[in-house]
Amino acid sequence: MIRLHHAPLLLLLALPLAEASSTYRCGSALVSTSAPTSEVQGKCGEPLSRDFLGYKEVLDQYGFRNEVAVEEWIYGPRGGMYHFLRFEGGRLVEIRSKRGI
């Protein structure tokens, strides 16, 4: 018997999940989080889509606030998977993969 308070959890489990990773393989090349956009584009080529998401406020190592540009690049489909690469301040910060869109 499924209790009503478990219903939201079951709905979340039914959603297609994106997998997170710290590296992304482009053919024989590999890029890792913290790689600059120029390295990713040099190794992986032009993405299928490149979206500017806005700006994010961050603190630098000295405690000063800075605004950095946030972009998301999409590569794929490769083997039915799309790969979403998020850049903040020109550096790769997140890699997610999802089957289909």
The per-residue pLDDT for 49 is 96
Instruction: Let me know if residue 3 belongs to a domain.
Output: no
Q: What is the CATH number of the domain that holds 48?
A: 3.30.1450
Instruction: Let me know if residue 5 belongs to a domain.
Output: no
pLDDT digits (tens, 9 = 90+) for 4-50: 454 444 333 444 556 678 999 988 999 999 999 999 999 999 999 99
The strand pair at 23-26 and 29-32 is best described as antiparallel
Instruction: Let me know if residue 11 belongs to a domain.
Output: no
- Strands of the 65-78 sheet, one edge to the other: 19-21, 91-99, 81-88, 65-78, 49-59
What range does the domain containing 94 cover? 19-99
Going by pLDDT thresholds of 50, 70 and 90, the confidence category of residue 101 is low
**Structural domains in the chain (count):** 1
Instruction: Let me know if residue 70 belongs to a domain.
Output: yes
